[in-house]
Every structure is written in C-alpha cells, then in structure tokens.
Amino acid sequence: MRWSQLQHRIYDVWVDRLDGQRLQIHCTAYGLGGSASVGRWWITLGREIVWDVPRDFPEERAKGTYNPVASEIADLVEDYLNTPRGQLLTREFPTDRWSLVEIFRAADRRLGRARLAELHESLASPVARRILEARLASPAG
C-alpha cells in the first residue's frame, strides 16, 4: 500500500485535534545511493516531534543502512488498522518494539471516552500517555 493511502487510513481513525493541537504521522525514506535507503517514521503533536524512528531508538540506528524498520512499521500499522474494534484494547502486537500501538490506541477515535480510563491504566509509553492526556483535555476527545 502506498504511504499516502496508509496515512489517509490512519487519519480516518485518529481524533482530529488533541487539546487544540494537530496530531500527525509522517514517513519517508532517504536514499543512500544504489538500492540502499534508510526509512524514518515520526509523529508530531503540534509542531513538536514526539516519536521518531530511528532517532529515538538507538537499536534501530545501530542496524545500519539495510534496516527494514520502515516496512516493519508499515506492516504493524496496517495490522493495527485491520484489527476489529472490539479487540483494539486487548489484542497483542508482538512485533511492536516501538510502543506505536499504545500511541495509536491513545489517538484512536474508535475508542470512546468510556474506554479511555481503562486504556490510561495500561499505558507504559510516555508519548502515548501524553497523547491520551491531551485527548482527555480536549472537549471532543
């Protein structure tokens, strides 16, 4: 699936604004010449980058130029987006070594306010907690 299509699917399930700030996700690949490239995914809240692979994950940077992290994250995102609504909080995603699913859960409009308290108790990621707290502070949350 092309990035623009995947991004559109993400925005379809994410809340529009969090405490007045826009939550966005980005993906790119930097060519290194030949067939080598380095993928990057990042999430912004307002103008601040709050999550960034590989920047925030030294183990990903250590893997070097042939690290398939960008496609692994794309697969994880698609897997999450294809998860039935009733399983969003309970399904495990063993390939998520970046706490991305927690961030997606915190921003997912399919999880209403009643389930957000349950989610809040289970979050380990500081970024996901921040997004959820911004969501709870938003009137439309």
Range of the structural domain that residue 35 is part of: 3-137
Distance, in Å, from the CA atom of 2 to the CA atom of 83, rounded to the nearest integer, reads 19
Domain total in the chain: 1
Query: By the 8 A CB rule, do 35 and 29 touch?
Result: no
pLDDT of residue 5 exceeding 80, the answer is: yes
Ranges 3-12, 27-36, 101-110: which has the least confidence: 27-36
Distance, in Å, from the CA atom of 94 to the CA atom of 79, rounded to the nearest integer, reads 11
What single-letter amino acid sits at 28? T
pLDDT digits 0-9 by tens, 37-88: 568 899 999 999 999 998 898 888 788 766 788 888 999 999 999 999 999 9
Q: Which two tokens stand for residue 35?
A: 């067939």
pLDDT digits 0-9 by tens, 76-134: 999 999 999 999 999 999 999 999 999 999 999 999 888 888 888 889 999 999 999 98
